[in-house]
Amino acid sequence: MTVRVARFSAAERAVHWAVALLMTACILTALVLYNGSLAMLVGHRHTVALVHVWSGFALPVPMLLGALSAAYRLDVRRLNRFTDADWAWLRSKDRRSGRIRVGKFNAGQKLNASLSAGATLVLLGTGTVMWFTGLVRLSWRTGATLVHDWTALALGLLVLGHLAYALRDGEALRGMWSGRVAVHWANREHAAWADEVEPG
């Protein structure tokens, strides 16, 4: 039988999947709002825009609620901090070999987390001034549209990359779904973390 260790608490998984759902809603409606052919096919622009805008406004809510959980706060701190090992891991060519002992998150996951969080806040801010057209002058709305477009494109690619890595590694996906991962996977992918939590 595979020995398993706890990786993500119920609160963390709830935050992850709530954000995933809202992000999917934002991306699908964004495609309709941005692509002319889809826009003409679907129509109902006001409804599509309402779903987009309110999914966007709701996006940070699960993350803020997550702050009530100690496990979530601890993992946010882990994601925030870059150690010498993280820099070495990013620079190395054999980063998957296990030579550099990775903590609970590797440097790529940390970068993904901070870039996603930053991009989400930028989209939230620019989206707000685009939606409430009376807030700032026209030239700033034009700037906000430009920033919103580019940031959305970058975040979309980031989300696709995140999905590609997750779907390639069933155990990582299982960790986010069930909360538990196989010890041998933890030893291989996150050796320094495995030492902290290893049973026995």
Partner 1 sequence: MPGRPERPRSAELDGTPVGRRVVLGLLGLGAVGVVTGSTVQQGLSRALAPVQMRDPTGLSQYIPIGNTFRYYSVAGAIDSVDAASYSLAVSGLVATPTTYTLADLRSLPQAAITEDFHCVTGWRVEDVPWTGVRLAHLLDLASPSPEAVAIRFRSFDGVYTENMTLEQARDDVLVALTMYGEPVTHYHGGPVRIYAAPMYGYKSTKWLSEIELTDRTIPGYWEDRGYPLDGIIGE
Contacts with partner 1, residue ranges (CB under 8 A)? 3-6, 9, 33-34, 36, 39-46, 71, 74, 77-86, 103-105, 110-111, 113-115, 117-119, 121-122, 125-126, 129-131, 133, 136-147, 149-153, 180, 192-193, 196-197, 199
CB of 81 to partner 1, least distance (A): 4
DSSP state of 180: E
Cα(126)–Cα(106) distance, integer angstroms: 30
CB of 113 to partner 1, least distance (A): 6
CB of 7 to partner 1, least distance (A): 10
CB of 195 to partner 1, least distance (A): 10
The secondary element (H helix, E strand) that includes residue 181 is: strand 180-182
Residues 187/7, Cβ–Cβ less than 8 Å: no
- Tokens, residue 147: 């920033």
Cα(36)–Cα(139) distance, integer angstroms: 24
Taking the CB of residue 81, how many other CB atoms lie within 10 A of it?
Answer: 11
What's the gap between Cα 134 and its chain centre?
31
Identity of the residue, 3 or 167, whose beta carbon is nearer to partner 1 in the bound complex: 3
Identity of the residue, 142 or 168, whose beta carbon is nearer to partner 1 in the bound complex: 142
Identity of the residue, 86 or 189, whose beta carbon is nearer to partner 1 in the bound complex: 86
